[in-house]
Amino acid sequence: MSRIKDKFKDLRSKNQKALIAYVMAGFPSERDTISAVRGLVKGGADIIELGMPFSDPLADGPVIQNAGFQALQKGMNLAKFLVMVKKIRKETDIPLVLMTYTNILYSHGYAKFISTVKNAGIDGLILPDMSINESKDFLQAAKKNKMDVIFLISPNTAPDRIKKISNLSSGFLYLVSVFGTTGGQQQFQNYTTHAIKNAKKILGGKIPLGVGFGVSNPEQARFIIKSGADAIIVGSAFLRLIESTSPEKIESKIGSFASSLKKATITE
Amino acid sequence: MKLGYPKDGKFGEFGGRYIPETLVPAVEELEQAYLKYKNDAEFKKELHYYLTQYAGRPTPLYLAKNLTKFAGGAKIYLKREDLLHGGAHKINNTLGQALLAKRMKKKRIIAETGAGQHGVATAMACSALGLNGEVYMGYKDTQRQKLNVFRMNLLGSKVHPVKEGTQTLKDAINEAIRDWITNVKSTYYLLGSAVGPHPYPVMVRDFQSVIGDEILVQMKKLEKKSPDSVVACVGGGSNAIGTFYPLIDEDTKMFGVEAGGEGIKSGHHSATLVGGSKGVLHGMLTYLLQDKEGQISETHSVSAGLDYPGVGPEHSYLKDAKRVKYDAVNDKEAVEAFLLLSKHEGIIPALESAHAIAYAVKMAKNMPKSESIVVTLSGRGDKDVEEVGRYLSKNVKNKR
């Protein structure tokens, strides 16, 4: 079993849904990221996604782009990322998922990169530009290191392909809720509800479904959970809050925001 | 060695489709449409009509006598893509893709542009075919290529300056891809070079192969044989792959010339194949300029059109297969060639093409007079006059 699988099993037994929170490693500083992670844990986040910045984040909207840009300017790299993960691991057993782009792994070598981050305490990987069609070497390296691989699906992904993608995923499956990049704040349309229901039907309970991109407040979280998602994924909203909060208040502010989102996932 | 149409989009290990899932149905739809129409008689007829009647094909293969005399060796022929409507080879591709977009019933066209030549060619094709064009262009490029921004506006397309990242071509591509993800159902992404996810590299190559096809016919008429050598500049590599591909099985030496900027050792260059390593960017596995952490490097070139840290995957394949030799020419040599061709032949080349000219002149010197080199003059240089002026005044100042 993996930390992610255990987490979902535990939540199921409590009849709960998951809050998955994204923060960018090193934004606006390494210390602030750690404060934010503490807040997330206290606030009841179930899984944390740690973003590793990439120079050309083509699936991300302005908020994550900017956070990544600042983290890179301050020198975030694999070595520093590992130090941060190890620090976090000393404090918590929460599942940690690394989200970045394919080239970061490719340039270090899939196998080497995956075994290194696994040893530091990373449980899963999300690469928005890794298509299953190109994933053979990547999957092999992940499997060897018992690393969960979370692929993404979209509202326009064909049913057959959802099946294929879910068969190659472990931990959970990531449904992109809207046509767009991360951080959009528009109202959800009918197609999002439809996509969630459709995906759930195809998955048949074999793997949890997380829904993200554009989920930024408790009201939206409630809507997504009501539509049938097993987890909500929130990123840009946390980054916006981190950016507008003074360092000493990050932990408490992030904590209370996380807790409001987590509450929204609990349906009566 | 000719790879034809690779079903999985792979040129050896290069190419492929490293894209967000939202785009998968879009590239599959595009591939189906391209496979359906590429050999369709009606489509070919219409494309041929626009290429000949609107764009001005075929382009001449001009023996540059004065330049040949100056170099004092092999004959230098210029494939005059600069004479095409719009002033560059880009229109070969934009007409092809715009006709395809029309058949796919997509009315909104988006494109990226570096120097602005692809943006202009897209704007022209959209205007001629009744489509709505929007062009992403790095803010830095809008500043150094103001004329082309003005032209695109005149031609009825909207220009979006991109202020993210390095504000050049790669960031314009990122922004165009983000737009495409957001508007995937209504929008056709008209990519300007032989880069990106499959089927773009192969499709752009096919539309640009008209260059090499004509060279072969023209040289057999003029010299009774295929060219001994061909030279083309390589940024993303569309004019180069269009030049090389039809000649791959001929007995022709091929040279791709990248932008050496301020020199490979300086780190300020765009010579991806000469100084790069393998990686994944913009949907493809190819050679890239990147640091050891996998972050894409800032590139530099005096020519905006070559200022790109990646390269078409088929070039990566041809490099590793040793079928094409890739080399670099620096800013200074390119500007000198720009001046040289203007003065000796009365032809102002695009700064991009000036890289190929510089290389061909060097090569010609060491080749016998009985041999011939064909240089693809991918575009004309009116757009670069100001930039060259700036370069010259800056470098005169530095010398003082």
Walk across the sheet containing B229-233 and list its strands. Answer: B61-63, B75-80, B372-377, B229-233, B253-261, B324-330
First to last CA, chain B: 52
Percent of chain B with pLDDT over 70: 99
Query: How large is the average pLDDT for residues A144-159?
Result: 97
Residue A268 has pLDDT above 70, yes or no: no
Query: Is residue B357 within 8 Å of B329, Cβ to Cβ?
Result: no
Assess A64–B contact: CB distance below 8 Å, yes or no: no
Residue B263 has pLDDT above 80, yes or no: yes
- Does B165 contact A55 at a Cβ distance shorter than 8 Å? yes
- Does A105 contact B296 at a Cβ distance shorter than 8 Å? no
pLDDT recorded at residue B164: 87
Query: Is residue B71 within 8 Å of B365, Cβ to Cβ?
Result: yes
pLDDT tens string B206-261: 999 999 999 999 999 999 999 999 999 999 999 999 999 999 999 999 999 999 99
**Which residue type, as a one-letter code, is found at position B364?**
A
Q: For residue B362, what are its two tokens?
A: 């060097």
Which residues from A are below 8 Å from B279, CB to CB?
Answer: 103, 106-107
* C-alpha–C-alpha distance, residues A127 and B292, integer Å: 19
Considering only CA atoms, which of B88, B66, B27, B18 is closest in space to residue B281?
B18
Q: Is B322 exposed, middle or buried (0-12, 13-18, 19+ CB in 10 A)?
A: exposed
- Which positions of A are catalytic? 49, 60
pLDDT recorded at residue B165: 86
Residue A235 has pLDDT above 90, yes or no: yes
CATH number for domain B56-87+209-398, candidates 3.40.50.1100, 1.10.287.130, 3.40.50.10470, 3.20.20.100:
3.40.50.1100
Using alpha carbons only, what angle is made at residue A239 by residues A149 and B185, rounded to the nearest 5 degrees? 65
- Which positions of B are catalytic? 90, 112, 378
Query: Is residue B165 within 8 Å of A56, Cβ to Cβ?
Result: yes
pLDDT recorded at residue B2: 83
* C-alpha–C-alpha distance, residues B1 and B158, integer Å: 41
In the A/B pair of chains, how many CB contacts fall below 8 A? 106
pLDDT band at B399 (very low <50, low <70, confident <90, very high): low
Write the Ramachandran bin of B294: left for phi over 0, alpha for psi from -120 to 50, otherwise beta: left
Domain boundaries, given as residue ranges, for chain A: 3-260
Q: For residue A211, what are its two tokens?
A: 């829904």
Q: How many residues does the structure list for chain A?
A: 268
The mean predicted confidence, pLDDT, of chain A is 96
Residue A179 DSSP label: S
Checking B68-72 for CB contacts under 8 A at 24+ apart, the result is: B68/B364, B70/B340, B70/B344, B70/B361, B71/B360, B71/B361, B71/B364, B71/B365, B72/B364, B72/B365
| ipTM for the assembly | 0.96
pLDDT band at B115 (very low <50, low <70, confident <90, very high): confident
Q: For residue B124, what are its two tokens?
A: 């022209």
- Does A106 contact B182 at a Cβ distance shorter than 8 Å? no
**C-alpha distance from residue A187 to each of A192, A211, A217, A266 (Å):** 10, 15, 11, 21
Residue A216 has pLDDT above 70, yes or no: yes
Considering only CA atoms, which of B161, B159, B171 is closest in space to residue B135?
B159
Determine if the peptide bond prior to A28 is cis (ω within 30°): yes
Which helix (H) or strand (E) is A258 found in, with range?
Answer: helix A250-264
Residue B57 DSSP label: P
pLDDT tens string A27-64: 999 999 999 999 999 999 999 999 999 999 999 999 99
pLDDT band at B311 (very low <50, low <70, confident <90, very high): very high
pLDDT recorded at residue A125: 98
* C-alpha–C-alpha distance, residues A224 and A140, integer Å: 33
pLDDT recorded at residue A234: 97
pLDDT recorded at residue A259: 98
Query: Helices marked H in chain B — which ranges?
Result: 24-37, 41-49, 65-71, 90-103, 117-129, 139-144, 146-154, 169-182, 200-208, 210-222, 238-244, 272-275, 313-320, 331-345, 351-365, 385-399
Assess A191–B contact: CB distance below 8 Å, yes or no: no
pLDDT recorded at residue B145: 87
pLDDT band at B101 (very low <50, low <70, confident <90, very high): very high
Count of H-run helices and E-run strands, chain B: 16, 14
pLDDT recorded at residue B397: 64
Domain boundaries, given as residue ranges, for chain B: 10-52+89-200, 56-87+209-398
User: How many C-beta neighbours within 10 Å does residue B389 have?
Assistant: 10
pLDDT tens string B49-91: 999 999 999 999 999 999 999 999 999 999 999 999 999 999 9
- Does B288 contact A103 at a Cβ distance shorter than 8 Å? yes
A147 vs chain B: nearest CA distance in angstroms?
20
Residue B324 DSSP label: E
Residue A25 has pLDDT above 60, yes or no: yes
pLDDT recorded at residue B398: 63
Q: Is A70 exposed, middle or buried (0-12, 13-18, 19+ CB in 10 A)?
A: middle
pLDDT recorded at residue B309: 96
pLDDT recorded at residue B395: 86
Q: Which of B22, B164, B280 sits opposite A65 (nearest CB)?
A: B164
CATH class of B10-52+89-200: alpha beta
B324 vs chain A: nearest CA distance in angstroms?
25
pLDDT recorded at residue A246: 97
pLDDT recorded at residue B182: 93
CATH class of A3-260: alpha beta
Considering only CA atoms, which of B344, B365, B363, B342 is closest in space to residue B353?
B342
The pairing of beta strand A18-24 with beta strand B108-113: unpaired
* C-alpha–C-alpha distance, residues B200 and B174, integer Å: 15
Considering only CA atoms, which of A51, A74, A73 is closest in space to residue A64?
A51
pLDDT recorded at residue B258: 98
What is the DSSP annotation of A194-249?
Answer: HHHHHHHHHHTTSS-EEEESS--SHHHHHHHHHTT-SEEEE-HHHHHHHHTS-GGG
pLDDT recorded at residue A187: 83
* C-alpha–C-alpha distance, residues A49 and A126, integer Å: 9
Q: What are phi and psi of B295, to 5 degrees?
A: -85, 135
pLDDT tens string B325-365: 999 999 999 999 999 999 999 999 999 999 999 999 999 99
Query: How large is the average pLDDT for residues A163-183?
Result: 95
Chain B residues with CB under 8 Å of a chain A CB are 8, 16-22, 24-25, 164-165, 170-171, 174, 177-178, 181-185, 277-283, 285, 288, 290, 292-296
- Does B295 contact A72 at a Cβ distance shorter than 8 Å? yes
Query: How large is the average pLDDT for residues A222-241?
Result: 96
Its pTM stands at: 0.96
Residue A134 DSSP label: G
Query: How large is the average pLDDT for residues A148-171?
Result: 98
pLDDT recorded at residue B175: 95
Residue B134, helix vs strand vs coil: strand
Query: Is residue B158 within 8 Å of B232, Cβ to Cβ?
Result: no
